[in-house]
Amino acid sequence: MTETILANAMLVLPEGVTRGQIRLTGGVIADIAGGAGLPAGAIDCGGDLVMPGLIELHTDNLERHIQPRPRVDWPHAAAIVAHDAELASVGITTVFDALRVGSVFTSTNAGYGEYARALADEILDLRARGVLRISHFLHLRAEICSETLVEEMAKFGPGDRVGIVSLMDHTPGQRQFRDITKLRDYVMGKRNLSQAEFDTHVAAQQALRAEVGDRHEAVAVAESRRYGAVLASHDDTTAPQVAASAAHGVQFAEFPTTEEAAAACRERGIRVMMGAPNLIRGGSHSGNVAASALAGAGLLDILSSDYVPSSLLSGALMLGDLWGDMARGIATVTAAPAQATGLADRGRLAPGARADVIRVARVGQAGAAVRGVWVAGARVG
């Protein structure tokens, strides 16, 4: 069995940060000891942080690799491998790849087609062949306001490593896009629509939600149970929306848009996840509540990199500084997402835990350089 010893490191343990060493053997953490000693054959970390590998629950990064520019489709296998390598390079050792289920075909200009089942097959095949560096699960983003959600979700089952199903309701005029001018800027810019085309799109989506929304929401909740997946809400805005999420059995809330919703989540035992780009940029690009405001109010539990993979580590370090508790900050990208998704074998430095470990050097106030990545004890970066 391969053995790796990381010594003279600042270990980010559940209870705090302390200088010590950690030994990885047989894919697990064999033991942890304190002090600055350097056993024979150990890697001298020179005081770098050593922490659990990061766990990413919601990322659009794969979409960026598959379609690097509008109407440019990249070969999927190459895109998946590049996505996997990028995540490993920034310290992410477990990812729930977000795939949309639910399509709209009747709108010529603002429609979007089906892709999730075919792409999932490619991800799972590359994983089975040992091509990928890190651990991959699936996150199905169930678009409530769509035409084909029921049919698309029926194509997945318990053997597909679906770890998360999120209830995504992007109906214009509510949740993330209560301010339709924000939606107009986003959709017209992305899809090159005229004002008239955009107005038609809004009316069609609102009518579709009225026709199928409640049924689709019920089907998505039932399918998540069939898969054995954790259920997440998305863009909760009001306390009644949070109450509905809780009734469905939601375990964590992705990107609540108001402090009211975040506080309601806390009252109902629903973990709150916010975007690291929001935290780093100092606010939401959609005009919603700032992650820093929720962090200051004690209403932030989990970070997601969303659309910037490197932001996950930087955001966690920022939270550690903000709270004056680095272990707490790092837990938002390690222990907390592991607990939210039932991954009991990872997310912490402890004997017997899976040896997903990273070595990190601080670079400036918010920056970080990942100097080593181990997945199940094997070095992958």
What are the pLDDT digits (tens) for 6-16?
999 999 999 99
Instruction: Count other Cβ atoms within 10 Å, centred on residue 347.
Output: 28
- Enter the tokens of residue 80: 């998946």
User: Identity (one letter) of the amino acid at 181?
Assistant: T
Question: Residue 182: is its pLDDT beyond 90?
Answer: no
Question: Three-state DSSP class for 379?
Answer: strand
For tokens 């059995």, name the residue.
249
Q: Are 53 and 358 in contact (CB under 8 A)?
A: yes
Question: Three-state DSSP class for 360?
Answer: strand
For domain 54-345, give the CATH superfamily. Answer: Metal-dependent hydrolases (3.20.20.140)
Q: Bigger pLDDT: 103 or 366?
A: 103
Rounded to whole angstroms, the Cα distance separating 156 from 366 reads 40
Residue 193 is predicted with a pLDDT of: 63
Q: Are 252 and 270 in contact (CB under 8 A)?
A: yes
Q: What does the domain layout of the chain look like in residue ranges?
A: 1-52+346-381, 54-345
Has this prediction a pTM greater than 0.85? Answer: yes
CA–CA–CA angle 123, 128, 129 (5° rounding): 100
**172: confidence class by pLDDT, cuts 50, 70, 90:** low
Q: Which of 93-107, 199-213, 305-319, 361-375 has the highest mean pLDDT?
A: 305-319
Residue 307 is predicted with a pLDDT of: 93
Residue 104 is predicted with a pLDDT of: 84
Domain 1-52+346-381 belongs to what topology?
Urease, subunit C; domain 1 (2.30.40)
pLDDT tens-digit map of 210-254? 777 889 999 999 999 999 999 999 999 999 999 999 999 999 999
